[in-house]
Amino acid sequence: MDLNYILKRHQVSLMRADAAGGGEARIAHQKFARRYADQIDAFRAARRLPRLRRALQMAARLARPGR
């Protein structure tokens, strides 16, 4: 699995869901994003790394001003 490709597709799916404006298109892109997130989590779990959501929370904490 090419992690960079999956990360890119996840981000694109999130952006397309946001731009869809609602309805079936938004739901479809959100489903794609969830599937990509599952693949990212599986990749990370195989390497004993934190899950995607947890990793993003840690990165956000580190990026806060004043730290």
pLDDT digits (tens, 9 = 90+) for 30-49: 999 989 988 998 998 899 88
pLDDT score of 67 more than 50: no
Structural domain tally of the chain? 1
Question: What residue spans of the chain are helical by DSSP H?
Answer: 3-20, 23-46, 52-63
- What range defines the domain where residue 30 resides? 3-63
Across the range 9-33, mean pLDDT stands at: 91
Separation of alpha carbons 27 and 39, rounded Å:
19
pLDDT score of 66 more than 70: no
The percent of residues above 90 in pLDDT, for the chain, comes to: 37
